[in-house]
Amino acid sequence: MTDLDAREAFALDIALRAGRLALTMRNDLAPADAKSAIDFCTEADLAVERLIRGEVEERFGDSFIGEEFGGEPGDAVWVVDPIDGTTGYIHGTPRWCVSIGFVVRGVIEIGVLYAPATDRLFTARRERGAHLNGRPIKVSGLRHGAVPVIEAGWSERSSLDTYFELIRRLNAARIEFRRIGSGALGLAEVACGLADGYAELHINAWDAMAGLLLVSEAGGVVNDFLANDGLRKGNSLMACTPELATSLTAILDTLTHPT
C-alpha cells in the first residue's frame, strides 16, 4: 500500500524548500544553457530537480520522471518540473513555479505547485479538493460575466501554423487568449478562477500533472491526458471551467486529430 498521507506531507514540504532554493539562486544566475531558441535550462533547474529526486529516492524509493534528468514510469511515480516557466524565471518575472505530481497506476493522487515569487502554494489531493495557501479554490464558472479568457500555451513541439489556427478558432468562438509562459501555473490559475481554461497542442507530463489534479479537484473539466502514453510522450491538454468544455474540446480535437 502506498502511503499517500506521508507523500502529500513530503510534497508540500519539498515544494516550499525547492522553490526557496530556486528563488535564492535567482539572485546570482549564471548564463543559461539553451536547449532550443526558446527553451532554457539554468543551474537552478538542475539543482532543484536533484534536490527533489534525491529526497524521493532516499525516503520512498518510488519511480521519478523529471524535466531535466528524465526517468521511467513505475506503478508509483513522481512527475516533476523543477522550474516551469524557466524563461520567465531568467527574465526576473514572478511567473514560474515548482510542479510536483504523484501518480499511482495511471491515477493522479497528489498535485503540489509552488510559485515562490508570489508565495502561492497550490495543493490538491484526489477526492479531497484543491487549495491555495490552505484555502479551498474552485474554477471560475464564468461568474465574472465577461468574455472567457484562456491560456493558450505553445512550444516548438507544435508548428506555429497549427498554433495560429488554434488562436484563430478561439477568436471565432469569442474566447480571449493569452500566453504567459508557465503551463503549470496556467493550470493552477484555472483552478482558482483567475483564468477560465487552458489549451495546448502538446505539453509534457511534468508541466501538467499537478495542474490537472488541481483543476479537476476545483470542479473543472480536463482531457484524458494520460491516454496514449501521455506520461512518457506528453499529450494535448485541455482544462477548463465546465461551461467551456464542449467548445474547447471541439476546437482542440480538430487540430490534434485532423480528419
* Residues 208 and 183: beta-carbon distance below 8 Å: yes
* Residues 42 and 87: beta-carbon distance below 8 Å: no
**Given candidates 8, 189, 207, 217, which one binds ligand IPD under the rule CB under 6 A?**
207
Rg (CA), the chain: 17
Q: Single out the segment in contact with ligand IPD by CB under 6 A; choices: 136-144, 170-178, 187-195, 199-207.
A: 199-207
Closest contact distance (angstroms) between CB of 4 and ligand IPD is: 26
Residue 173, CB-side half-sphere exposure with 13 Å CA sphere: 21
Q: Single out the segment in contact with ligand IPD by CB under 6 A; choices: 105-113, 181-189, 214-222, 242-250.
A: 181-189
Confirm or reject binding of residue 182 to ligand IPD (CB under 6 A).
yes
The closest residue (CB) to ligand IPD is 153
* Residues 7 and 126: beta-carbon distance below 8 Å: no
The residues binding Ca ion (CB under 5 A) are 81, 84, 207
| Binding residues among 20-79 for ligand IPD as defined by CB under 6 A | 39, 67
Binding partner of residue 39 among ligand IPD, Ca ion, none, CB under 5 to 8 Å per kind? ligand IPD
Q: Give the separation between CA 169 and CA 171, rounded to whole angstroms.
A: 5
Confirm or reject binding of residue 183 to ligand IPD (CB under 6 A).
yes
Q: What is the largest CA-CA distance in the chain?
A: 51
Q: Give the separation between CA 240 and CA 188, rounded to whole angstroms.
A: 11
10 Å Cβ neighbour count for 178?
12
Confirm or reject binding of residue 181 to ligand IPD (CB under 6 A).
yes
Question: Which residue type does 121 have?
Answer: L
* Residues 65 and 73: beta-carbon distance below 8 Å: yes
Count of residues that bind ligand IPD according to CB under 6 A: 16
Binding partner of residue 216 among ligand IPD, Ca ion, none, CB under 5 to 8 Å per kind? none
Q: Give the separation between CA 49 and CA 26, rounded to whole angstroms.
A: 15
Q: Which is nearer to Ca ion, 50 or 138 (CB)?
A: 50
Q: What would the x/- binding string for ligand IPD be over residues 81 to 110, using CB under 6 A? A: x--xxxx-----------------------
Residues that bind ligand IPD (CB under 6 A): 39, 67, 81, 84-87, 153-155, 181-183, 200, 203, 207
